A = this chain, B = another copy of it.
Amino acid sequence: MKSAAAIMSGLSLSTTPRPSAYLSPATTLSSHRCLRFFSLSLPIYRSLNFTKRPPIHVNHSNPMLIIRNSSSSSSGSYSITAKPSSEMHKNQNGNSRGMEQDQKLIALREQFGKPGINIDAYIIPSQDAHQSEFIAECYMRRAYISGFTGSAGTAIVTRHKAALWTDGRYFLQAEKQLSSSWTLMRAGNWGVPNTTEWLNDVLAPGGRIGIDPFLFSSDAVNELKEAVAKSSHELVYLYDVNLVDEVWKEARPMPPNEPIRVHDHKYAGVDVSTKLSNLRSELTDAGSSAIVISMLDEIAWLLNLRGNDVPHSPVFYAYLIVEIDAAKLFVDNSKVTPEVMDYLKKAGIELRSYESILSEIESLAARGAHLWLDTTSVNAAIASTYAIACNKFTENLGSKSKGKDFATRGSNRLSSAPCALCKSSPVSLAKAVKNHAELEGMRNSHLRDAAALAQFWSWLEEAVNKNVILTEVEVADKLLEFRSSQVGFVDTSFDTISGSGANGAIIHYRAEPDSCSIVDAHKLFLLDSGAQYLDGTTDVTRTVHFGEPSERQKECFTRVLQGHIALDQAVFPENTPGFVLDAFARSSLWKVGLDYRHGTGHGVGAALNVHEGPQSISFRFGNMTPMLKGMIVSNEPGYYEDHAFGIRIENLLFVKEIDTPNHFGGITYIGFEKLTFVPIQTKLVDLSLLSAAEIDWLNDYHSQVWEKVSSLVDGSAREWLWNNTRPVAKP
């Protein structure tokens, strides 16, 4: 046990408790800003051995960063060291695919010795240059080189080895997809080293480890650098070439090239000049002269623009630099329609090519600009280019302080030499607090979404009752059809999770046409889905039973519902961090020894990313972001019984002031208002467990659902809505 713990202690972001909680390698290396919300995890205090370990350190800047639990997929395997997938599982893809993968590895290694490269290992993360949750195909380099297509993973190729780290969600998939040239590293299992521990183990000391610095956040690279320095390895930044792209060549898809559109002012609520002016005030207050924004949703929000470069998120690939008296958008010109061109010109925003970002950074440093960099999201290429250019500036001044004072974390810098302020992007919090128009758009789009869902559930119930055989994928497709016909529909906001029976217990389940189950009338069915509309973004989960649920299922559903109600009804002092509220959603489950391995709530963008920070409601105690009026969060407690069923009830809520009769401490008390209006199946509720107040909540909710949605549907959907919003009473 001791040796395993010693190995794990090298993880970069936390001293992890065991056996329940680990960081996945993806999070270790890349600081995902919006990891899929439902990363498997258990509250970190589960196995916190206080006497032996220091308190957990949490990544404050990344509230969605989740510690995962491996027990569901690998219980009892704590002492297993990762073995090559070839040993664990006969490669089902046969020789041809394996050979293809081997050819890629050979081609990749051929790059290692080239002049100007000369490396011993190359790290291929999952990320794009913007830490996006959803990325364009041309940036899926890790999937291309390894053959493993799961959303989370890190590949490392040395001259003689190739290894891929992924977490418990993807062990089976990776075993199938990796050729025998690859070693699968089951992250989170006992004895499995993390990426840097492995590198330190397999490389001779003093090795050169290549990375594409665009694909790592500045913070992630610093952690990486520190970790490999233990074996005297050097991190080699390959700015000009991505070695996987060199292998991929012509087969590599073109970067996305979809036209950008202006986000209508009636949905945006605040015009770009006001937003820029507010941002510039923050820059001035902080003593910065410019900020580099690289998060795609921050750029889209700030400029009131939307794009279509990646699935599910209405964003476009770009960087944005805002100076006190200028703003430059770095974007592929071909995406910019004449309308957008005109719009940007009026807003005083200059266009630059996407590729010219680094030369602009150099130029800013040369002009002595103090740059505000959110190093949790800005990539290492930008940060290090700025650092090097600052050093040059200082050298030219003849000063002796070379680079060491490149960055400050305070706000008062007296020197005239350029230096960075490393601080969370102010756009993140500004974006999270919705204005009136954004809230209106969210309200309206949620009603249309509710209408589509009423049509869908009415259709599905009827089909199942008629014994129509439908697969999980067909059902999700039909839902898309209903949503598509709603005004303003753009896209789904994430891949629909459509899980019947045991599949509902797989928190990250994604039904695939060739392998999915049918929707079984005798099992629980969990459906987590959402849409992008022109005016808003939705995310809703309902769990239903088409036949007779068991008492066990009813009790579990009821306790999840009680948690959902407790959070929905919570009132709390303004500025309370979200994690204070998390226990409200778990309390009723805890009373009978149940729990769920994911957070309770994430932020949601307004016609933007379905997962956004900085706020969250989670058992991770590190995110001190206060809950503020206007924020939107999901409320989604659940319960998952392995190999049996899954339950989740999810509404979106927005934070609003509560008109309390008192204001102790002279402050405002805040709470939530619902955005989602979709019936909760009362058949699954054990009314004897509910208090009078909880029954009132349920009846009141359903009365609101009928009142708000009934006029938007007709026929059988309206009938279904009527039937499913009738009040219940204690037996």
The residues of A with any CB-CB pair to B shorter than 8 Å are 20, 42-43, 45-48, 50-51, 54-56, 60, 71, 282, 424, 426, 429, 570-577, 579-584, 587, 589-595, 597, 614, 619, 621-622, 624-626, 658, 660-667, 669, 691-693
Inter-chain contacts of A573 with B (CB < 8 A): 43, 45-46, 590, 595
Q: CA separation between A662 and B552, bound complex, in Å?
A: 11
Q: Are A571 and B595 in contact (CB under 8 A)?
A: no
Q: If A43-B573, A47-B575 touch, does A55 touch B660 (CB 8 Å cutoff)?
A: no
CB-CB under 8 A from A574, the residues of chain B are 46
Listed A/B pairs (15) with beta-carbon separation below 8 Å: A42-B665, A43-B576, A45-B573, A47-B575, A48-B577, A51-B282, A55-B624, A570-B590, A571-B590, A571-B591, A573-B590, A579-B621, A580-B619, A593-B664, A595-B665
Instruction: Tell me the bound Cα distance from A459 to B448 in angstroms.
Output: 68
Q: Do B577 and A661 touch (CB < 8 A)? A: no
Q: Is the pair B577, A580 in contact by a Cβ cutoff of 8 Å? A: no
- Cα distance A60–B53 in the bound complex, in angstroms: 12
- A361–B575 CA distance with the chains assembled, in angstroms: 48
User: Given that A60-B55, A572-B590 are contacting pairs, would A581 and B583 also be in contact in the complex, using a CB cutoff of 8 Å?
Assistant: yes
A587 touches B584 (CB 8 A): yes
Using Cβ atoms and an 8 Å threshold, which residues of chain B touch A624? 45, 48, 50, 55-56, 621
Q: Are B593 and A661 in contact (CB under 8 A)?
A: yes
A658 CB contacts on chain B under 8 angstroms? 593
Question: Smallest CB–CB gap between A285 and chain B, Å?
Answer: 9
Q: With A71-B665, A691-B691 in contact, is A50–B626 under 8 Å at CB?
A: yes
A660: chain B residues at CB < 8 Å are 591-593
Question: In the bound complex, do residue B48 and residue A626 qualify as a contact, i.e. CB atoms below 8 Å apart?
Answer: yes
- Collect the chain B residues with CB atoms within 8 Å of residue A666's CB: 71
The 9 closest A-B pairs by CB, nearest first: A593-B660, A593-B662, A55-B624, A45-B575, A571-B591, A595-B664, A593-B669, A594-B664, A571-B590
Contact B669 A590 (CB under 8 A): yes
A220 → B minimal CB distance (Å): 20
A46 near B667: Cβ-Cβ < 8 Å = yes
Q: Give A411's nearest chain B residue, CB to CB.
A: B52
Contact between chains at B45 and A577 (CB < 8 Å): yes
**Which residues of the partner chain B approach A593 to less than 8 Å between Cβ atoms?**
571, 658, 660-664, 669
Cβ of B662 and Cβ of A592 under 8 Å apart?
Answer: yes
Chain B residue nearest to A17 in the complex (CB): B575
Question: With A48-B626, A50-B626, A581-B583 in contact, do A665 and B575 touch (Cβ < 8 Å)?
Answer: no
Contacts of A587 in B (CB 8 A): 570-572, 584
- Set of chain B residues within 8 Å of A571, measured between Cβ atoms: 587, 590-591, 593
A593 CA to B571 CA in the complex, in Å?
A: 8
Residues of B within 8 A of A594 (CB): 662, 664
Q: Do the beta carbons of A45 and B626 come within 8 Å of each other?
A: yes
Q: Measured between C-beta atoms, what is the minimum distance from A592 to chain B in Å? A: 5
Q: Which residues of B contact A71 (CB under 8 A)?
A: 665-666
A583 to B579, CA, bound (A): 10
* In the complex, chain B residues whose CB is within 8 Å of the CB of A662: 592-594
Contact A625 B572 (CB under 8 A): no
In the complex, what distance in Å separates the CA atom of A577 from the CA atom of B692? 31
Closest to A60 in B: B55
Give the residue name and chain of the B residue nearest to A286 (CB): B52
A461–chain B nearest beta-carbon distance, Å: 30
Evaluate contact between B583 and A45: CB separation under 8 angstroms. no
Residues of B within 8 A of A50 (CB): 429, 575, 614, 624-626
A693 cross-chain contacts in B, Cβ below 8 A:
691
User: With a CB–CB cut-off of 8 A, which chain B residues contact A572?
Assistant: 583, 587, 590
CA distance A325 to B575 in the complex (A): 53
For A55, what are the chain B residues with a Cβ–Cβ distance below 8 Å?
60, 622, 624
The 8 Å CB contact of A51, one of B48, B429, B582, B595, is B429
A55 to B282: give the CA distance in the assembly, Å: 19
Contacts of A622 in B (CB 8 A): 55
Residues of chain B contacted by A669 (CB below 8 angstroms): 590, 593
Residues of B within 8 A of A426 (CB): 51
- Chain B's closest residue to A622 (CB) is B55
What residue in chain B is nearest A597 (Cβ atoms)? B665
| Distance in angstroms between the alpha carbons of A574 and B692 in the assembled complex | 30
A115 to chain B, nearest CB (A): 43
Q: Do B46 and A665 touch (CB < 8 A)?
A: yes
